[in-house]
Structure 1
Amino acid sequence: MIAVYYCVHIITLLGVGYWLYRQRPDSLFWPGLILKICAGVVLGLLYRFHYQSGDTLLFFQDAIFLSKKCFESPVDYLHFLWNDEGSPWLTGLTYSQYRSLFFVKAISLVAIFTFQQYGLAAAWCSFLSFMGCWLLYRTLCARWPEGRVAAAIGFLFFPSLVFWSSGLIKESLAVAGLMALTAILLRALWGKARPVEVFLFVFSGWIVWGLKYYWLAVWLPVAIAQEVYQASKVQARSGMQVAVDLA
């Protein structure tokens, strides 16, 4: 039965990947995606067989606990996702600190979807992380085609980024959110953002805040500076146009 689960999810993942690839074909899509998923698998194997413990395994243990509670009482499970204060379920979890519990809740949904299989959950987390990186890569390439190689190295193939933002760890979802935030902000500044991206922007910000709020402390000043710079360019361009018209 486990083999069937894996086959179903592998086909689904490849199907979703192919659909996304067809939206805007790029020869780096499949190498980047496969590398990301393989990195997530290697990370899981490293903690399972070398360290024989670690956050990634304990996170999933807690996620399985919550997914079982979902099958026992879906209403209570949904309530716990929204408000865990004072819940007796907290005693059954390894992690009760806010950011770790935020992640455990998120991957408990993945655990339900993947039939509580660690490998499948890690693959989907890697997939989401890759999609955030891919969105930023495509956004930059659309603006600066000559920087395609640099963008690919920086966001798709840089070893430490690939490895430590893959698999079932908080950084996977946090990187996905941060990359999406950056891509959508740039698209908005360039006047190319779509209405649906407003929702994705808010959702991504919520994810990053829940997992790595201090990343936003670094990201926000840079984002504000970029917006001020973009506004100043527009103002300067308008001023030059007025001067030309008056002349």
Structure 2
Amino acid sequence: MKQLLVALVLNSGLLLLVWRWLRLRLAEPLLGRWLLPLLALKVLACAVATYFIGGDPLYYFGWSCSVNQQLWADPAAWLHTLGSNEFHFGGRHLVFHGFSNTLFFIKLLSGLQLAGNGSALLMGLYCSLFCFVASWELVRAVVRIWPATPAGAVLVGFLMWPSVVYWTSGITKESLLVGSGAAVVALVLGWLYGGRRVRPGAVVLALALAVLHFQMRFFFAGLLLAVLSGLGLIRVAERLLGRSRREVAVLLLAGWLLGGAWMLGEISPVFSLNKFTSRLLINYHTLQQNSGSRPHLNYPDLRPTGTSLLQHTPQAVAATLSRPWPWEGSGVLYVAAGLENLLLLALLLWAAIETARGRPGSLPFAVVVALLAYCLLLAALLGLSTPNLGTLNRYRVALLPYLLWLGLQHPHAARWLRRIGL
């Protein structure tokens, strides 16, 4: 009875917050009409993901219920679990050696179970709503900062693209990963380009979101935070020089990323090139073996050296953006993923042609360079370390929204998006 009462109170408070947020956003002239349809799409995707729950989401949900039971039975033991890499309760044991984003996610879900009260649908809805609200706030930030750029480009990337909607709905790490990343980007762009004052509350919020992003996937967050800090450095240089120079922006970002990687390697051997390449190759071989007879990437000449990784990087980036093909695999999901990839490649080719013709769009060059660097570096990392095409399709949703945003912001795409009301 006590658990049900707590769940009712928490869900009532959450419902009130969502209603207040919706009421304000629905009144916005440009974006308001799309809010409810896209929210309905998100809720539908969450319902489908929950109905067919299995694999990792079912694993996370099951263990979060056990950890939540510990919270009610022995709060002190639950607090101890939060600070450790082990869980022991009711004859169930879960042990990780070192940091695990899986265990962190389970702990987080166990707290959310206070409101979820054992419902997988509610748990999935909380994660989905977090991603939706954060993505919507990024769309609003872009519209406010650069009204000449098409809002539809960000809407398509974060809230309409099929694989992004699917993988960020329900009980998935991707829902928190993409949502926290979008929120951090929105805050940083507001400070750097939107004239927003850097208030203490916003800084605390940004730090909390960055920690969440970091806890979900370490390397993904490291790349995003690195390019955002590099973008901040470029903005400082632009203000000192009194103008924007493209070559300066490229050199500063490249120097910042390379210098940061070198410094991390000097600070700790964990971040050294040898450790990184070895770990990447171990991950590649492990996932390749687990793929069995299913379609997967194959790099027979890949070696744990920096030179070998660079040689395979173009192939890895291409594979991340194009595989699987529609004819690979025998399931419906493989066909759907393949058709989506063909559409993605067509959009990217269209964007490349428009850029070559001198019509790249009106986003600041430094923003384009920073986001493109993030997309390409993460695509290379994923393509080299994740040969399993199903896992690759899920992991790459961390970069797809930004890539689609860049690919759909040139004038011809903007005209097409506005024609359909975006």
| TM-score of the two chains, using structure 1 as the length reference | 0.82
Looking at structure 1, the residues matched to 8 and 81 of structure 2 have their Cα atoms a distance apart, in angstroms, of 31
Looking at structure 2, the residues matched to 5 and 37 of structure 1 have their Cα atoms a distance apart, in angstroms, of 24
What is residue 411 of structure 2 aligned with on the other side?
none
Q: Post-superposition shift, 1:16?
A: 2.5
1:88 is paired with a residue whose SS is strand
Looking at structure 1, the residues matched to 95 and 34 of structure 2 have their Cα atoms a distance apart, in angstroms, of 38
Looking at structure 2, the residues matched to 212 and 41 of structure 1 have their Cα atoms a distance apart, in angstroms, of 25
Write the mapping of 1:115-130 to structure 2, written as runs, cut at 5 A: 115-130=117-132
Q: 2:10·2:115 contact (CA, 8 Å) conserved in 1? A: no
Letter in 2 for 1:34: A
What is residue 337 of structure 2 aligned with on the other side?
none
What is residue 107 of structure 2 aligned with on the other side?
105
How many residues were matched structurally? 232
* 1:32 to 2:38 alignment: yes
- CA deviation profile, 1:144-166 (whole Å, cap 9, x unmatched): 22321212112221211111111
* 1:164 to 2:167 alignment: yes
Out of 214, 221, 229, the residue aligned to residue 224 of structure 1 is: 229
Query: Cα gap change, 1:194/1:90 in structure 2, threshold over 3 Å: closer, same or farther?
Result: farther
Q: Which moved more, 1:23-32 or 1:171-180?
A: 23-32
Q: Which moved more, 1:142-151 or 1:189-198?
A: 189-198
Q: Per chain length, whose mean CA-contact separation is higher, i.e. which structure has more relative contact order (CA < 8 Å, sep 6+)?
A: 1
What is residue 243 of structure 1 aligned with on the other side?
none
Q: 1:6·1:120 contact (CA, 8 Å) conserved in 2? A: no
Looking at structure 1, the residues matched to 74 and 10 of structure 2 have their Cα atoms a distance apart, in angstroms, of 25
Identity, % of aligned pairs? 26
RMSD of aligned residue pairs (Cα, Å): 2.9
Looking at structure 1, the residues matched to 60 and 124 of structure 2 have their Cα atoms a distance apart, in angstroms, of 11
Looking at structure 1, the residues matched to 199 and 33 of structure 2 have their Cα atoms a distance apart, in angstroms, of 25
Q: Post-superposition shift, 1:14?
A: 4.8
- CA deviation profile, 1:91-127 (whole Å, cap 9, x unmatched): 7255746110000000111112111111111111101
Q: 1:69·1:77 contact (CA, 8 Å) conserved in 2? A: yes
Looking at structure 2, the residues matched to 9 and 112 of structure 1 have their Cα atoms a distance apart, in angstroms, of 8
1:84 is paired with a residue whose SS is coil
What is residue 345 of structure 2 aligned with on the other side?
none
Query: Cα gap change, 1:10/1:90 in structure 2, threshold over 3 Å: closer, same or farther?
Result: closer
Q: 1:62·1:93 contact (CA, 8 Å) conserved in 2? A: no
What is residue 156 of structure 2 aligned with on the other side?
153
Looking at structure 1, the residues matched to 156 and 227 of structure 2 have their Cα atoms a distance apart, in angstroms, of 21
Looking at structure 1, the residues matched to 8 and 110 of structure 2 have their Cα atoms a distance apart, in angstroms, of 21
Q: 1:58·1:94 contact (CA, 8 Å) conserved in 2? A: no
Looking at structure 2, the residues matched to 9 and 35 of structure 1 have their Cα atoms a distance apart, in angstroms, of 24
Q: Post-superposition shift, 1:5?
A: 10
Letter in 1 for 2:228: A
Extract unaligned runs of 5+ from structure 2.
245-422
1:145 is paired with a residue whose SS is coil
Q: Which moved more, 1:85-94 or 1:22-31?
A: 85-94
Letter in 1 for 2:161: F
Looking at structure 2, the residues matched to 151 and 72 of structure 1 have their Cα atoms a distance apart, in angstroms, of 45
Looking at structure 2, the residues matched to 99 and 206 of structure 1 have their Cα atoms a distance apart, in angstroms, of 12
What is residue 80 of structure 1 aligned with on the other side?
81
Q: Post-superposition shift, 1:13?
A: 5.2
Q: 1:178·1:205 contact (CA, 8 Å) conserved in 2? A: yes
Q: 2:45·2:166 contact (CA, 8 Å) conserved in 1? A: yes
Letter in 2 for 1:237: G
* 1:43 to 2:49 alignment: yes
Query: Cα gap change, 1:57/1:23 in structure 2, threshold over 3 Å: closer, same or farther?
Result: same
Query: Cα gap change, 1:58/1:232 in structure 2, threshold over 3 Å: closer, same or farther?
Result: same
